[in-house]
A and B are shown apart, each in its own frame.
Chain A
Amino acid sequence: MPPLLRTSIAALAVLGLAACASPQAADAPAASTPHGYVEGATESTEPQLHLATVDGDGRLALLDLLSESSSDITTLADTTDIGTDGRFVFASSPEGLTIVDSGVWTVDHEDHSHYYRAEPAVVGTVRGSGPATVVGGVSRTALWFGDTGTGVVLDTDALGTGSIVELARIDGEPHDGAIVPVGEQLLVTGADGTVRVHDADGEPLQTVADCAGFAGTISTRVGTVFGCADGALLATATDEGTIVFETVAYPAGVTAEQRATAFRGRPGRPSVAAVAGTTGAWLLDTRERTWTLLATESPLLLVAAADDRDGNVVALASDGRMVVLDPVSGATVAATGPLLAASVADPALLAGVELTVDATRAYINAPAEGLVYEIDYADGARVARTFETAGSPLLLAETGR
């Protein structure tokens, strides 16, 4: 209920100010904010893709993949990791989580999408201890500080207007976990090896599922995936908003070290991929509820499912090559030279290497090489463009998609 309350107050305030329906008044924030809308944003005909990078000085830069222009947004010292929901960049540091609005985003209407561009801005910092896992939803964005067991639920619309508005807090046992907003509800991992449904205020509800050894979560067109010891826990919402859990079990004989612990895919697609220990890649099809083990000769370090027409799976191999795998046999369809040989040889740098895929290209930062590579995965793993960033790109995130 708090969101409703705030909305009515905002509506009253606007009503008082805008005494007349002039065009300006009509453009003012209205009684509600539908997803995707921000005052001052312009709509575009295509995704306004950007890459966010952070260098050794903590300088966060945004590279416009359409115009190839780059701009420094802010400097965030001691940034240990960044992530994104496709619009906001979430930068973890020992003091907390800083949220930066990249100013570009896509709203998916299923039959088509809308693409927006606004001014980038630093939204603010949520104090917290240690790294935070962040999952962005349409109306809520949830942070989990695993070191202290602190969950913070933020209003996504408010982030879009430049303010941090806390809607709920969840205190739990410290553990590597996550909170995933789904509609009005929250899916919360527990230190006891469960995922429980909580209401909008953060209060636990009865619905709960087992997920021992949680590692990694991702949202697909079908639902939300949680990586668990025995397989993937898939949470889907019925038309009435009821959360239904089911487990997509691993095939027999999967060892603990083979389990998927981090999933990568393309927003709005059903299939996602993960590293399968040193044996290759997992492809998880959440629509068909199937796991496919793609055995590779070289161990893989990062894997992402493009889930395009050919079902391409893009990966960084342990020898520094970028490889494209066949989604059925796991055969290497194409490979680059060892583009990231120096980066994979340095464990400290390797920890910050990130792979992201969109509808036509994959991007990966090579901090030791001081470059970001653009890979045309559907065309023989061709290196389409190479970007030099001002400082070495230690961390990477793609926004606008």
Chain B
Amino acid sequence: MRARIAVVVGLALLAALSGCGAPAADRPLVVVTTNILGDVVTQVVGEEAEVMVLMRPNADPHSFEISARDAARILDADLLVSNGLGLEEGLQQHLDAATAEGVPVLEAGDVVEVLPYSSGDAEGAPDPHFWTDPARMVDLVEALTEALGENVAGVDTAAVTANAAAYTARLGELDARMASAFSAIPAEQRSLVTNHHVFGYLADRFGFRVVGAVIPGGSTLAAPSASDLRDLVEAIDEAGVSTIFAESSQPDRLVQVLADEAGIDVAVVELFTESLSEPGEGADSYLTMMRTNTERIATGLSP
């Protein structure tokens, strides 16, 4: 009797010391790989399960790391939601281990219509960045609702269905808002001159053209010549746009060099691509990220 009490006390002490937010043992566990999917899944699951998101804000979905403890918890999940299509390269062995362990897996790549990359070295290969099209996210929400009902015992399916309906409505609003914002851009200027590689789905859905461009880097911008800018200038001229959407470590310097060396006056604007941000940074949820990007594209390309 005494021994048993000691053990219980010991366990309680351990929990207190380690300071873990003790996961509600009575709630099922849904593990999600990327933080974009993590937000969407959280909206749909609501209070019905614990949602554990493996990728932190401002991380890289291709190479983010998880702790051994997180890796172990994946095996206890009632449902694992992943993006698939090769996005979570660094996690593959954990995902394989979960599948081998019999953890039910919902892979977004299996439930949305997949597009191939339209250019670049990976041309023709499946493009994993489906989330830039909100209509495809609706497809994922539908599949998720079904998967929760089928695989996660103990969730109130009515509540989940209601959450999904509410979130789907918000996705619909987002979709309408994007369509409306982009409709102000003349068709001939719906070109994204960019070194981001994730906007194929958005382009396909809303009638944009993605013009891939090499953005000159710091070692080039130090002592640039017209030839360094040739690809980019040709892309800008061809697209006839006044804003390019590029990730650059020195956007101001790039703007100045383009003006000095090529006589081109463009704005350089960065978009959110593969990760949610910290709160308040413009992409703290999927909906915020999409609205921020929409606003930046519409402002940049509208006459």
Using a CB–CB cutoff of 8 Å, the interface residues on chain A facing chain B are 11-12, 14-15, 18-23, 25-37, 43-47, 49, 65-68, 107, 109-112, 114, 309, 358-361, 374, 376, 378-379, 382, 384-385
Contact = CB atoms under 8 A, between A and B. Distances in A.
A68 to B, nearest CB: 7
Interface string B96-123: 0000000000000000000001001110
A195 to B, nearest CB: 27
Interface centre among B89, B94, B214, B217 (most CB of A within 10 A): B217
Given A11-B68, A21-B70, A26-B56, A68 B217 contact: no
Nearest to A23: B56
Contacts of B20: 19-22
B70 A26 contact: yes
B19 interface: yes
B248 A46 contact: yes
B66 A360 contact: no
B218 interface: yes
8 contacts: A11-B68, A20-B69, A35-B63, A49-B217, A65-B219, A376-B227, A376-B228, A378-B230
Interface in B218-233: 218-220, 222-223, 225-228, 230-231
A19 B18 contact: yes
A26 B237 CA distance: 46
Contact of B63 (A22, A46, A107, A110): A107
B217 A47 contact: yes
Given A19-B18, A28-B67, A384 B217 contact: no
Contact of A32 (B93, B120, B122, B231): B93
Contacts of A23: 56
B225 A31 contact: no
Interface of B: 14, 18-20, 56, 60, 62-63, 65-73, 89-91, 93-94, 117, 120-122, 125, 197, 214-220, 222-223, 225-228, 230-231, 247-249
Given A14-B68, A44-B249, A68 B225 contact: no
Contacts of A109: 62, 89
Contact of A11 (B71, B73, B125, B215): B71
A385 B226 contact: no
Contacts of B93: 31-32
A18 B72 CA distance: 12
A382 B225 contact: yes
Nearest to B58: A43
Contacts of B197: 111-112
What DSSP secondary structure best describes chain B's contact surface? loop
A312 B254 CA distance: 25
Contacts, number: 137
Contact of B220 (A11, A22, A33, A360): A360
B69 A379 contact: no
A361 B219 contact: yes
A205 B214 CA distance: 43
A19 B65 CA distance: 17
A108 to B, nearest CB: 9
Nearest to B117: A111
Contact of A66 (B56, B62, B120, B218): B218
Interface centre among A12, A66, A309, A358 (most CB of B within 10 A): A66
Nearest to B90: A34
Contacts of A384: 222-223, 225
Contacts of A12: 68
B67 A14 contact: yes
A151 B91 CA distance: 32
A217 to B, nearest CB: 23
A360 B257 CA distance: 16
Contacts of B223: 374, 376, 384-385
B247 A18 contact: no
A49 B219 contact: yes
Nearest to B221: A66
A43 B72 CA distance: 27
B231 A360 contact: no
Given A26-B56, A45-B247, A47-B217, A21 B228 contact: no
Given A31-B68, A66-B249, A111-B125, 16 more contacts: A14-B68, A14-B69, A15-B68, A21-B70, A21-B73, A31-B71, A31-B94, A32-B93, A34-B63, A37-B63, A44-B249, A46-B215, A47-B217, A66-B222, A110-B122, A379-B225
A36 B90 CA distance: 10
A372 to B, nearest CB: 13
10 A-B pairs with the lowest CB-CB distances in the bound complex, closest first: A34-B90, A111-B122, A66-B218, A46-B217, A379-B227, A65-B219, A384-B223, A379-B225, A20-B20, A20-B18
A34 B87 CA distance: 13
B98 to A, nearest CB: 13
Given A28-B67, A46-B249, A379 B228 contact: yes
A384 B257 CA distance: 15
Interface centre among B69, B89, B231 (most CB of A within 10 A): B69
B117 to A, nearest CB: 6
Interface centre among A14, A112, A385 (most CB of B within 10 A): A112
Contacts of A382: 225
